[in-house]
Structure 1
Amino acid sequence: MRIFKRILLAILALGLVGILVIAGFYWAVKDDLPSVADIRDVRLQTPMQVYAKSGELISQFGEMRRIPLTLDEMPQQMIDAILATEDNRFYEHFGIDPIGVARAFFGLVTTGEIQGGGSTITMQLARNVYLSFEQRFIRKVKEAFITLRIEQELSKDEILELYLNKIAFGQRAYGVGAAAQVYYGKPLKDLTLAQIATIAGLPKAPSTLNPISNPARSKERRRVVLLRMLDEKKISREQFEEAANAPVTARYHGAQIAMSAPYLAEMVRQEMVDRFGEDEAYNGGYRVYTTVNAHMQIAAQQAVMNNLHLYDERHGYRGPVAWLWGKPKDGKKPQQQPATLALTSENQAWQPQQINDYLANQPVIGMTVPAVVTKLGEDSAQLIIKGGEQAALSFANVRWAREYLNEDRQGAAPQTIADVLQAGQHILVRKTDNGWRLAQVPEPSSALVSLNPKDGAVDAIVGGYSFALSQYNRAVQAERQVGSNIKPFLYSAAFDNGFTLASLVNDAPINQWNPGTGVAWRPKNSPDVYEGPMRLRKALAKSKNVVSVRLIRAVGVDTVAEHLQKFGLSPDAIPHNESLSLGSMSMTPMQVARGYAVLANGGHLVNPYFIERVENSDGEVIYEAQPAVACASCADDPSRVTQAPQVISEQNAFLVKQAMNSAVWGGGSWAHKTGWNGTAWRIQRSKPLINNVGRNIAGKTGTTNDVKDTWFSGFTTGIVTSVWVGFDNVERQLGHSSMHPDLDRDEQPISGGEAGAKTALPAWIDFMAEATAYTENNGFDVPPGVSSVRIDLDTGKLSKNNDYSSRFEYFLIGTEPKEFAESNSAPVVFDDEEDGSIF
């Protein structure tokens, strides 16, 4: 009995010591343990995703790839594989495996280091969520207490679901949903048993057992997982054999981007970081829905890239990227510095595998794909294209390639394909409707911005040819001289200061002596043609520079500068001199589009925006745009919507719109030899665009004097778009191109000097032909306060004729001409013979 009492006392003493030890450990680590609320609100660090308005994924930002799934959304085989491999008694134990803990304690006693243990799913979750992976005893103590608390607060299913969404699987994939996408490019539910077993084997060592970097070890680990599933009777012997012998099919898959819009995505990323901070923005699981229409965005990107390739082709071919074998013909060297000049020691032709290995390391930039010429025929070249495709490049898709000499000169047209290509050349090609076409990365840059003029929502935005080539977003960052794109704002000021569409201004040369500089200022038209007295409708449509100079003199530079501020322009950016009339001011394409939206929507200044709403990881809307809307009737019910400020009158906007409409459709009578075209007459050739909107199009070209910047900006009632083309190097001019003697009109619709009508307008047309199918486009309705009377085309006075010599013209009520044109009456023409002007 005495021995029994001593044993009992010893057990009680040891138990008390154990309790005190546990209590001591708890006291030592209690401040580091998560609260009950923290445990029940474990946050999955999910990346920020950016979507188009209609739900297409544009981009994903964040270090961790994660696709959260509920337990019900996970295949049972995945659950079985994880449990069989990681913790087959998961639903039976209380969170801690006594055997594992004993093993860890024994390792500590014998080696002085933690060797392993704590292998239950709950303990792995505790370590993964709250602790580091360092092998220290105190960490194991914390892990045990956290495990017990997790088991108290969460059900087994909740623990397992959290584990399967939280655990790392390598390649920055966290959770089984992301792992399925990263390794196999498809949803978890679509994986085979072999693929499921591969993923289930990764938590033990995601790096060393990775099927991409170490397929052999991954296959061995997959077999272990399958054996454990077989032992647990979760699969049959036949299923085991089939899955164990399956090939390793894993390869890296990026996020499932449905529509690439990198410039827009970067704008969203920066906006979200500014709002929430970098860590929160990247890992908070936000879903950002933009205002862009996916169809319009794709059309915008295609239009910009195609247009730059057309420019580059008419200015000539700069040569191959590199020679891989063979000597350059006639001693010529590549026009471009080669990215790699890799000659074999024997200078022999490369084998297909060598070529494929080389091409695998060459970048795809925009529409251009690297290829190698392997053989020349009489009228085609044989290529190996990146990715292994073997294709023929016809001479029809090469004959554009006259030698590039400079921006203004091109060499002779090639007569055979051998005049352009040689075997062994690394070249670039692009895919067209007519097959592969010889290409080069365009040297100029371009930008496009398209807005909904009603509320400023960005419908499409392109900041350059390729985001991979340059992250500089020219749509919102590049302030370039706008040239004649400024003129609609100037005419708006004129209509507010006594001028009408029928006012005559003298289109004649100006020669103004400046005694201060000793130099005469001689602004010129482009082309350098002068037509004498001209109605303002026609002057804007034909973009007469000297008429704009006379208008700014008549209205006053300061008055015009103040009026321009109404279009959202900063007063500090507006030059207070007469060069303003010729577009010396610098603006971004976004600023131009915003200003033109005022004209399109009836005089309201809207604020461009590109984020429609933001949802958190639970799908709750935490931000939704509330844009001010261009709506004249909204003032009657301000609770319904915020009204955008009316900065110019609806009537003023209508009159400017009319003159811009004539830039497209011209005027006069071609049958009576009085017909004329505006600078945007090429729009008339676009049947798809005309089918969508009829004649309800208004626009304006823009070209700087030295042709360093070219523009076209225009609108319908439902969409306003501005396109810019130029070199990033502001010293470079866009130059000239000569007519190619061997190309027909469809292949080379443009030659001569570059200009807004030739260089920027084609991209605008291509985009708008697609975009207007997705917008509401109504007619240019005549607003109240505007009358229409028949005028004489020569004098701008009232006309009694009903023929080609007259037309109906719009006027603000009260500004209509009061006199009829008579055969012997002289027209009233504004000129400014002061200051030494010559007419």
Structure 2
Amino acid sequence: MVRRDMVALYGDKADTDGYRVYTTLKADFQTSANAATQKGLVDYDRRHGYRGEEAKLDYPLEEVPLTDLVAELKRFRTIGPLQPALITEVSDESAKALLKSGETVSLTLEGMQWARRYIDNVDRGPEPKKVSDVVEVGQIVRIIQEKDEWTLAQKPQAQSGMVSFNPNNGALLALVGGFDFQSSKFNRAVQGGRQAGSSFKPFIYSAALDKGMTPATVINDAPVVFEDSSLESTWRPENSGGRFYGPTRLRQALYKSRNLVSIRVLRQIGVRHTIQYAEKFGFDPAKLPNNLSLALGSAALTPWEIASAYSVLANGGYKLEPWYIERIENNDGDTLFEANPMVICDDACEQQRAEEQAREAQLAAESAADESDELAFSDLLAQEATQPEAAADTEDNTEEKPIRYAERVQDERINFLITSMMQDVIKRGTGVKARALNRSDLAGKTGTTNDQKDAWFSGFNRDVVATVWVGFDQPRNLGRGEYGGTAALPIWIDYMLTALQSSPQVSPKIPDGITTVRIDPETGKRAKPGQPNAIFEYFREENVPAQEVEDDMVNPHGESGNIPEQLF
């Protein structure tokens, strides 16, 4: 991307004139992102079986000089961390493999236990009992070094894209476009676009909160059939697994990723309102379908677009411009370009900004008054010509870049509520594996598209946002059990192990106008005094439930009883 921008700026000279480009990418973050993506794809590939050798030499190896065997191996390029290797010896317990370096390494049965024969993305053959069940002498295979041991691997067929931003200034921290750039230069982080699945739901729920719903609003998770002229046929959406769960609070629906609730929410608040609301986060409205399939993330989006939108959630509700070129210098060290990123104006700088705006208004008024003065513009130029120092000062001042304040696009209280709901995705929902990071400040959302063709995870704390996509370039089913929390989340976790090291845990500040109320967990209404199963929930002050749960809805054991059958 950087080279593309340099060529756009300087043409063919971008490669020959000695320009130095400084980017916002962090070396340790980028290294971690590459390694996490490659590991995640290798692990995914292993879960679905072994497709066999890459090639086979059909002549006796003992009759061929070692140098010729090495030369044969060198025809096979190293792909990411995957080395080509020639199997030279095989027994029941181990095998010998020749590397391009001429070194011979050992492979054990333990490192091949995963290599059940690939049948399809759902089925595999039996577990191998001995090494000779998997490899033969003369085969050229792929191996990878893991924990100082070499193990069998293969080039993954699935691909991935990852984007990570600093949500406080929009700086790009890391970007991965695929498993190996030399094998495929298609940048899946920014090119193309795949259905976002449930990773889009936070923006639908934010729009619902904006319309007056609350985390405790109860929506019926029940079957529904749509006859929609904008859809090709009758639509019978389902939850993952095909089950329906009845009345569900919005908070639960988000962290359990209930599709039917999202559809009913979208139908109630309106598709048009939701698209207009999502546009504030940087989404192109032309890419968002103008029908209820939007609730399931049917829009084709890139990891870049999703990570940029999640940055708004992470920074408290401000829309920033993503950027990655910090400075450009020529061969003499002169600065040709220096970025001027947007600044988030929180409570601490609001007064300062108001004062600056007042000064700007005053200067504008004075400028308007000056236009009526008798002093001719030629006289002003002559005056500057006789005062070169003052003219130089004026020139310097014009080069100072004005502060660019980011626009608040999400209400502070709505931002707090949706972030709290997304934290539950990790605490008790589909992103629970992220608890392995042992942090309390993380929020996120899994995403899995129809027929499990795309897996997503997007998550953040106040300092780092990252989005991961996993899928095939030609969309097809990822296989049994391959959801966002299975295929994409482990990559996100491995990256965040590095990215969060310098980010202290900070509890979010509860904004003014947010209050906590004890509610009945089944109805979302205010709990009765002493109700044993009551839970706490956050509300905007104007949306606090006024009505207490009725007596016949709470039995003596604290369990909710009769729930209205039709809820939205």
Give the alignment's TM-score, normalised by structure 2. Answer: 0.87
On the 8 A contact 2:95/2:106 being kept in 1, the answer is: yes
On the 8 A contact 1:602/1:651 being kept in 2, the answer is: no
Equivalent of 2:443 in 695, 698, 709: 698
Check if 1:793 corresponds to 2:507. no
Number of the residue aligned with 2:53 = 320
Aligned mates of 2:239, 2:248 — CA distance in 1: 14
Equivalent of 2:534 in 789, 792, 806: 806
Aligned residues: 512
Report the secondary structure of 2:275's partner residue: helix
On the 8 A contact 2:87/2:98 being kept in 1, the answer is: yes
Report the secondary structure of 1:277's partner residue: helix
- Summarize the alignment of residues 218-617 of structure 1 with structure 2, pairs less than 5 Å apart: 267-279=1-13, 281-325=14-58, 344=59, 349-513=63-227, 520-617=234-331
User: Partner letter of residue 760 of structure 1?
Assistant: A
Aligned mates of 1:451, 1:427 — CA distance in 2: 37
Equivalent of 2:482 in 754, 760, 778: 754
Number of the residue aligned with 2:405 = 643
**1:276 CA displacement:** 1.5
On the 8 A contact 2:49/2:115 being kept in 1, the answer is: yes
Q: Which runs of 5+ in 2 are unaligned?
A: 357-401, 554-561
Report the secondary structure of 1:567's partner residue: coil
Aligned mates of 1:622, 1:517 — CA distance in 2: 51
On the 8 A contact 2:443/2:459 being kept in 1, the answer is: yes
Aligned mates of 1:644, 1:287 — CA distance in 2: 29
Aligned Cα RMSD in Å? 2.0
Aligned mates of 2:406, 2:564 — CA distance in 1: 39
Number of the residue aligned with 1:652 = 414
Deviation string, structure 1 residues 195-237 (Cα, Å, up to 9, x no partner):
xxxxxxxxxxxxxxxxxxxxxxxxxxxxxxxxxxxxxxxxxxx
**1:434 CA displacement:** 4.8
> Rg larger in 1 or in 2?
1
Inter-CA distance 814–472: structure 2 relative to 1 (3 Å threshold): same
How much identity, in percent, do the aligned residues show?
41
Inter-CA distance 828–780: structure 2 relative to 1 (3 Å threshold): farther
Deviation string, structure 1 residues 60-105 (Cα, Å, up to 9, x no partner):
xxxxxxxxxxxxxxxxxxxxxxxxxxxxxxxxxxxxxxxxxxxxxx
User: Partner letter of residue 567 of structure 2?
Assistant: D
Give the alignment's TM-score, normalised by structure 1. Answer: 0.59
Aligned mates of 2:143, 2:495 — CA distance in 1: 23
Equivalent of 1:734 in 464, 478, 482: 478
**1:632 CA displacement:** 2.3
**1:803 CA displacement:** 7.1
**1:765 CA displacement:** 1.0
**1:629 CA displacement:** 2.3
Aligned mates of 2:46, 2:237 — CA distance in 1: 32
Deviation string, structure 1 residues 579-637 (Cα, Å, up to 9, x no partner):
00011111100000011111111111111111111222222332221111233234433
Report the secondary structure of 2:423's partner residue: helix
Aligned mates of 2:513, 2:532 — CA distance in 1: 27
User: Partner letter of residue 11 of structure 2?
Assistant: G
**1:822 CA displacement:** 3.2
Q: Which moved more, 1:780-789 or 1:294-303?
A: 780-789
Aligned mates of 2:230, 2:325 — CA distance in 1: 52
Aligned mates of 2:337, 2:227 — CA distance in 1: 58
Report the secondary structure of 1:501's partner residue: coil
Number of the residue aligned with 1:203 = none
**1:782 CA displacement:** 1.2
Number of the residue aligned with 1:69 = none
**1:303 CA displacement:** 0.6
Runs (4 or more) in structure 1 with deviation over 6 Å come to 515-518
Q: Which runs of 5+ in 1 are unaligned?
A: 1-266, 326-343, 667-677, 737-752, 833-839
Deviation string, structure 1 residues 670-717 (Cα, Å, up to 9, x no partner):
xxxxxxxx1111112x1xx21xxx211111011111111110001111
Equivalent of 1:824 in 548, 552, 564: 552
**1:828 CA displacement:** 7.0
- Summarize the alignment of residues 119-268 of structure 1 with structure 2, pairs less than 5 Å apart: 267-268=1-2
- Summarize the alignment of residues 655-734 of structure 1 with structure 2, pairs less than 5 Å apart: 655-666=417-428, 678-684=429-435, 686=436, 689-690=437-438, 694-730=439-475, 732-734=476-478
Deviation string, structure 1 residues 91-127 (Cα, Å, up to 9, x no partner):
xxxxxxxxxxxxxxxxxxxxxxxxxxxxxxxxxxxxx
Deviation string, structure 1 residues 395-426 (Cα, Å, up to 9, x no partner):
11112111111122111111100001111111
Aligned mates of 2:79, 2:29 — CA distance in 1: 21
Equivalent of 2:491 in 763, 782, 793: 763
Inter-CA distance 618–520: structure 2 relative to 1 (3 Å threshold): same
Aligned mates of 1:353, 1:715 — CA distance in 2: 51
User: Partner letter of residue 477 of structure 2?
Assistant: Q
User: Partner letter of residue 466 of structure 2?
Assistant: T
Report the secondary structure of 1:651's partner residue: helix
**1:347 CA displacement:** 7.6
User: Partner letter of residue 734 of structure 1?
Assistant: L
User: Partner letter of residue 663 of structure 1?
Assistant: V
Number of the residue aligned with 2:558 = none
Deviation string, structure 1 residues 174-201 (Cα, Å, up to 9, x no partner):
xxxxxxxxxxxxxxxxxxxxxxxxxxxx
Structure of higher RCO (CA pairs closer than 8 Å, 6+ residues apart): 2
On the 8 A contact 1:505/1:829 being kept in 2, the answer is: no
Aligned mates of 1:499, 1:549 — CA distance in 2: 14
